[in-house]
Structure 1
Amino acid sequence: MQFMTLAPLSSETGKPNLSRGTREDLRLIDAALSSTERRDLAEAALHIAARMLEQAHEVAEEDVPLSASEKEALGRLGVDTSDTVSDADFYRSSPVLDGMTRQALMTAEAIPLAEAAWRMGVSDARLRQRIAAGSLMAVHRPHERGWLIPTFQLTEAGEIPHLSRVLQATGRPVSAQAMDRFFRTPRQDLEQMSPRDWLITGHDPAIIESILSGL
């Protein structure tokens, strides 16, 4: 695979002036795309990175400074608006990179809607109804129409118990990435079990509903 870059060319070599770290990143991506086991993850990561760049460009075009009331509101939430960072520093920060990693993993592991419908014993149309109603989480397929179903909601035999009920307990939109992290993270108030394992092992779903309603 060959990459096309907008980096300025070196006057000596005629090749792009890329840092050693960037060249190594590109080598790793190229190797991952050539690997059957890692291709889905690499493609998901590239798709997510492209969307972030697109969103960054849209934000840069607007470039509207915060109003005094907006700064005051953010200050009450503990957000310091006096020390701004560049777009480049923001997108290479640990929280953003960690979020990209989790989203890429979730997307790479997600299964097509038709496969999820077969596993759950229902029609594709039924799953689309549930996605619209908020009783099933889904993400868009990279560069394609259609849905992928994140696997935190599924077992080999179908969906985890009480899934529809607990997903609707938040009462507001929550991203698939945030819900994936919630369902997979062990909690002290669930006897050190993750919400996913708590439901699969037959525990009371009302506790999960209560936690989600308070998020």
Structure 2
Amino acid sequence: MSPALETVLAKAGLQVTPMEFLNLVAEAAKRLAPPHPEPASYFTPDQREVLTDVGLDLGPQTNTDAMPRARSIVALSVLRDTALTVAEAARQLQVDTSRIRHRLGVGRLVGWKDKGSWRLPAWQFAGTGVLPGLEAVLATVAQDQPALVVAAFMTTAQEDLLVDGTPTTPRDWLLAGGDPRRVADLAAMLGTPV
């Protein structure tokens, strides 16, 4: 296996072998989508007409679409690999596992079920606590938003969040003591048509 891949995985803090990582990528690729889906097949004729009338291209994907798909699969693999179990989150927060499950149930932590067990994305934790202002932010995120979308938002620099004149991620904004309401306002827009 490539020493370069081992180096990248180690620098990213992913505790998997290169073969395990590639297997995760292959598994996610099979599970997430066929290689070249035809978007039109997911809609009724009436829905297709409305969507094409507003300018959406429902034609089959081409090979040029492979890179964004690959990026999404890799991002999902990394999100899954770096996520904490309920027990790991409880240890980190120094609370009982029932408290973690309760926080998940009331939307004070983000998580998803993976083979029957909760997984909690690591971006929402800071030291022995949760990200400052997390509860205010999560209260504005629509329940139907996938964990990958929320993770991408929280870890992507936003033009509206400036620290020393430089756009910063919502996570870094909150860690720097920024107003959680600014992040909450942006998070409320997730999934909203622009």
TM over 0.5: yes
Q: Give the superposed CA RMSD.
A: 3.1
Aligned to 1:172: 143
2:27 counterpart of 1:47? yes
2:84 counterpart of 1:111? yes
Q: CA deviation at 1:85?
A: 3.9
Equivalences for residues 142-181 of structure 1 within 5 A: 144-181=115-152
Please tell me whether the aligned partners of residues 152 and 196 of structure 1 are also in contact (alpha carbons under 8 angstroms): yes
Amino acid corresponding to residue 157 of structure 2 in structure 1: P
Per-residue displacement from partner, 1:98-155 (whole Å, max 9, x unpaired)? 11011111111112221111211322122222223332112334xx431221111011
Please tell me whether the aligned partners of residues 160 and 196 of structure 1 are also in contact (alpha carbons under 8 angstroms): yes
**Number of positions where the alignment pairs a residue of Structure 1 with one of Structure 2:** 174
For 2:124 and 2:173, the matched residues in 1 are separated by 13
For 2:24 and 2:87, the matched residues in 1 are separated by 19
Amino acid corresponding to residue 155 of structure 1 in structure 2: A
Say if 1:47 and 1:203 are closer, same or farther in 2 by CA, change over 3 A.
Answer: same
Aligned to 2:69: 96
2:164 counterpart of 1:184? no
Which blocks of at least 5 consecutive residues in structure 2 are unaligned?
Answer: none
The structure 2 residue matched to 1:70, chosen from 42, 47, 50, is: 47
Aligned to 2:180: 205
For 2:81 and 2:23, the matched residues in 1 are separated by 8
Q: CA deviation at 1:64?
A: 5.3
For 1:146 and 1:208, the matched residues in 2 are separated by 29
Per-residue displacement from partner, 1:84-108 (whole Å, max 9, x unpaired)? 248xx59x72221111011111111
Amino acid corresponding to residue 124 of structure 1 in structure 2: T
Which blocks of at least 5 consecutive residues in structure 1 are unaligned?
Answer: 1-26
| Larger Cα-atom Rg | 1
Please tell me whether the aligned partners of residues 140 and 188 of structure 2 are also in contact (alpha carbons under 8 angstroms): yes
- Scaled by the length of structure 2, the TM-score of the pair is 0.74
2:16 counterpart of 1:38? yes
Of Structure 1 and Structure 2, which has the larger fraction of its residues in strand? 2
Say if 1:134 and 1:173 are closer, same or farther in 2 by CA, change over 3 A.
Answer: farther
Q: CA deviation at 1:76?
A: 5.0
Q: CA deviation at 1:157?
A: 2.3
State the SS of the aligned residue for 1:181. Answer: helix
Per-residue displacement from partner, 1:165-189 (whole Å, max 9, x unpaired)? 2112023321111111111111121
Per-residue displacement from partner, 1:9-66 (whole Å, max 9, x unpaired)? xxxxxxxxxxxxxxxxxx66xx97xx994336345324323423xx64xx99xx9564
- Scaled by the length of structure 1, the TM-score of the pair is 0.68
Please tell me whether the aligned partners of residues 41 and 107 of structure 1 are also in contact (alpha carbons under 8 angstroms): no
Q: CA deviation at 1:204?
A: 0.6
For 1:48 and 1:113, the matched residues in 2 are separated by 22
The structure 1 residue matched to 2:100, chosen from 105, 112, 127, is: 127
Please tell me whether the aligned partners of residues 44 and 107 of structure 1 are also in contact (alpha carbons under 8 angstroms): no
Amino acid corresponding to residue 174 of structure 2 in structure 1: L
For 1:43 and 1:78, the matched residues in 2 are separated by 38
Query: Percent of counterpart pairs with the same letter?
Result: 23
Amino acid corresponding to residue 110 of structure 2 in structure 1: M
